[in-house]
Structure 1
Amino acid sequence: MIREATERGEFDNLPGMGEPLDLSDVDDPDWWVKRKIRDENLDSSALLPMPLQLRKEAQGFPESLRGIADEDSVRDILTDFNHRVREAHLSSGAGMPSLVTAHTVDVDVMIQKWRMLRS
């Protein structure tokens, strides 16, 4: 299959053709993941432990909710966030508390801040 693809010219004019490979970071066991995230401009927050993901999400409130026009939708998002925080607390390994925890948000306070952002 490779030979046939080569004969059809499918490997001609590929980016980086004829250039040396960048092997500067191959000593890092996760080099390929980090390079993929960098090269494709991917959001790496999904790789964080759940408590850190939730903390990062909370840091974006209420600004991350600015584009949502419906108060009920904002309330649903914040309620879901609090539910996920509680789930993360319950799922910590064998009942042992995690050193990093996320905290629930006060939905009514966030709604007030969201309203001020929208006005």
Structure 2
Amino acid sequence: MTGRKPGGSSFESWVERQVREAAERGEFDGLRGSGEPLRHLDRPFSAEEWAAEKARREGFDVSAMLPPALALRREREVLLRDLAELRSVAEVGAVVEGFNDRVRELYRRPADGPLVVVALLDAAEVRERWERARPAPAPVQEPPAAVVRRRRWWRRAR
């Protein structure tokens, strides 16, 4: 592609000529998706859907694009699903308290959209679920007793 548009030609004709020449050289041959119809032409364009799809294709977490109330609901689901990964009762308590603080803060602010109910977590119930979700500790095996080898009497006599 040339760097500058020649004077006296319209931008449209210059771009179309560049594309036509590249196609004649075969630069578009073998591209991924070549010959396939464009997807989603039957539905109206939505910038939010486009951004979410782009983020998924790139491997990003789309939960950051959620409204705060829905993000907290998602966080609650993930927290309850991954309870077994927490290491101690103190860590469970800290996670539950931090989540409940964020929910209370959400309810203190004026609502931006429709009301989305996010329930507080009950610390005792979450602790019980954590204890049930944890894998059973492996039985402690005592090391084998050291074998005392007795020396023969004739070896002691030497």
The list of structure 1 runs, each at least 4 consecutive aligned residues, that deviate by more than 6 angstroms after superposition, is none
Distance 1:18 1:50, change over 3 A: closer
Q: CA distance change for structure 1 residues 57 and 18 in 2, over 3 Å: closer, same or farther?
A: closer
Instruction: Give the structure 1 partner of residue 129 of structure 2.
Output: 113
Post-superposition shift, 1:69? 1.0
TM-score normalised according to structure 1 size? 0.69
After superposing the two structures, state which structure 1 stretch, 50-59 or 109-118, moved more.
50-59
* Larger RCO (alpha carbons 8 Å, 6+ apart): 1
Paired AA for residue 73 in structure 1: E
Contact 2:73 2:118 in 1 (8 A): yes
Gaps of 5+ in 1: 4-15
The reply to whether residue 38 of structure 1 matches residue 53 of structure 2 is no
TM-score for both structures, normalised by structure 2: 0.54
Equivalent position of 2:39 in the other structure: 24
| Aligned with residue 117 of structure 2, among 101, 110, 117 | 101
Cα separation, 2, equivalents of 1:109 and 1:88: 22
Structure 2 residue 72 is the aligned partner of structure 1 residue 54: yes
Q: Go from structure 1 to structure 2 and tell me whether the alpha carbon gap of 1:99 and 1:18 turns closer, same or farther (over 3 Å shift).
A: closer
- d(CA) in 1 for partners of 2:132, 2:78: 15
Structure 2: how far apart are the matches of 1:60 and 1:34? 20
**Could you tell me which amino acid in structure 2 is paired with residue 60 of structure 1?**
V
The CA RMSD over aligned residues, in Å, is 3.1
Matched pairs, number: 106
Asked whether the 8 Å contact 2:56–2:62 carries over to 1, the reply is: no
